[in-house]
Copies of this chain bind each other. A is one copy, B any other.
Amino acid sequence: ARARHKPCALKELEVSVSELGLGYESDETVLFRYCSGTCETAIRNYDLSLKNMRLKKKIKKEKVRARPCCRPLAYDDDVSFLDTYNRYYTVNELSAKECGCV
């Protein structure tokens, strides 16, 4: 059976700052919260119409999105840390606080 994906929801993962891959080197850990899952239940008339119009080439060569996205609706507070060179950095809008289908 086709892999069924869970509905769009907030997940969390404790990772080290280095693992974020932003270029910072620090052993401090952060709680990385992200949005994962499908938005099948949030499809609107808009989406159906847009999909049809792309299929009928009424809309061409345009970057349009004909299905809702599971994305953060709000972000956590900034997080700060000391890197391995003893310098402080602050990263904003790193972790999701609330998810939704948009």
Whether the pair B5, A58 counts as a contact (CB closer than 8 A) is no
**Binary contact track A60-102/B, C-beta < 8 Å → 1, others 0:** 0111110011111101000000000000000111111000001
- A41 in the interface, Cβ–Cβ < 8 Å? no
User: In the complex, what residues of B have CB within 8 A of residue A1's CB?
Assistant: none
Known: A38-B63, A52-B20, A59-B34. A75 touches B46 (CB 8 A): yes
Min CB distance, A85 to chain B, in Å? Answer: 20
| Chain A interface residues (CB < 8 Å from chain B) | 3, 5, 11, 13, 15, 19-22, 32, 34-38, 44-46, 48-53, 55-56, 58-59, 61-65, 68-73, 75, 91-96, 102
